[in-house]
Structure 1
Amino acid sequence: MRKMETLVLFSPELTVEQREQAIATLSEVIDREGGKLLLVDQWGMKDLAYPVRKQMRGFYVRFEYNAPNQLVAELERIIRIQDNIFKFITVRLSDQAEEVA
């Protein structure tokens, strides 16, 4: 398993409940696919450098997790079919997952 990070940009028009439900859905995908969620870091509403889907603001959330190979593909597939997510990026943090006690 590798330590991964996915940064997700949510629509600013989502209510708090809708955003929490979307975050819970992504967290469930990580658990279901055999990963271990380490951190969900909500950065909050930020101004964007350029318009994305005619919006100049977005809500950023960073997921940090240990993941087997197939998890990233499934997580990105789920993210792509969500209408409330504008953009995302997944980055490998290290080749070896850290053991969390």
Structure 2
Amino acid sequence: MNNYETVFILTPVLSDQQAKEAVEKFTKVLTDNGAAIVNEENWGLRKLAYPIEKKSTGYYTLVEFDSNPEVIKKLETAFRRDERVLRFLTFRLDKYAKEYADKRRARKTAAPAAPATEVEPATAAE
């Protein structure tokens, strides 16, 4: 099994619920074909670098997964058949990219766990 990462952009005319349903559809395609989802990140509504289909924003989603190469063809066919998908990119992670992704996930999970410290206002010296 290889490590893969896919990023896809959904059309901005979707509601949050519709965008979540679309993401679930694609992760279901992966899991139904034997892939193991490692990480899923919703980057939210972001501005596109250039207009695609006369749209300047889109819902970005990143999914990291472990699977056989045959699953990629099925996933990309599902992307092409769904009119909600503006763009997608899937690539295999080499060992360095895998290490970087693991470190990024570790930083992301460690940062919110740190307690917020309150700073008391300094009193003026008289």
Runs of 4+ that moved beyond 6 A: none
Higher relative contact order (CA 8 A, sep 6+): 1
Where structure 1 has 5 or more consecutive residues not aligned to the other structure, the ranges are none
- Name which one, 1 or 2, has greater alpha-carbon Rg: 2
Three-state SS of the structure 1 residue aligned to 2:65 is strand
Shift of 1:74: 0.2
Asked if 1:41 corresponds to 2:36, the answer is no
Three-state SS of the structure 2 residue aligned to 1:14 is coil
**Backbone CA RMSD of aligned residues:** 1.6
TM-score, with normalisation over the residues of structure 1?
0.91
Shift of 1:94: 2.6
Counterpart CA distance in 1 for 2:68 and 2:18 is 28
Give the helix-richer structure, 1 or 2.
Answer: 2
Three-state SS of the structure 2 residue aligned to 1:12 is coil
Shift of 1:50: 0.9
Correspondence 1:16-35 to 2 at 5 A: 16-35=16-35
Where structure 2 has 5 or more consecutive residues not aligned to the other structure, the ranges are 99-126
Q: Which residue of 1 aligns with 2:57?
A: 57
Shift of 1:33: 0.7
Count of aligned residue pairs for this structure pair: 97
How high is the sequence identity, in percent, across the aligned residues? 27
Give the strand-richer structure, 1 or 2.
Answer: 1
Counterpart CA distance in 1 for 2:16 and 2:44 is 11
